[in-house]
Amino acid sequence: MHVSAANFNLSKLVGTPPPAGFDVKGFEKSTTDKAKVVAALKESFVHGKKAITGMNDADLEKSLDWFGGKNTQRGILLFIVRHASEHLGQSIAYARFAGITPPWTEDMQKKQPEKK
């Protein structure tokens, strides 16, 4: 839900407002239901893709205020990607520590011939 909140909320900085009714305050703790969490995450990435594809290339170098400094819209997009990637890495490490094989690894293992 944290990644979903960031995807919905940060896109407004590059000109795409969050979905109607979205309130970042409390969103992260709004549900623990797995199906709802997965749905929110998928929806937030669709929203992010819409934000990126809706931008003009010329807008990528527009400057804006960012945590007491300046950043470009391109920099904001890179931050959003880095943020999601950081949490993906944490999720992978946690899953492996807990003995869970990530789905893409499991799929790859199924396609490999059995070792003798």
Summarize pLDDT for 20-70 with one digit per residue, the tens. 999 999 999 999 999 999 999 999 999 999 999 999 999 999 999 999 999
pLDDT > 90? residue 108: no
In a domain, 44, yes or no: yes
Query: Average model confidence (pLDDT) for the chain?
Result: 91
Question: What pLDDT score does 105 carry?
Answer: 82
Q: For the chain, how big is the Rg over CA atoms in Å? A: 17
| Range of the structural domain that residue 104 is part of | 2-111
In a domain, 46, yes or no: yes
Question: What pLDDT score does 36 carry?
Answer: 96
Question: What pLDDT score does 109 carry?
Answer: 82
pTM of structure: 0.81
- The burial of 115, by beta-carbon neighbours within 10 Å (0-12 exposed, 13-18 middle, 19 or more buried), is given as exposed
pLDDT > 70? residue 89: yes
> How many domains in the chain?
1
In a domain, 116, yes or no: no
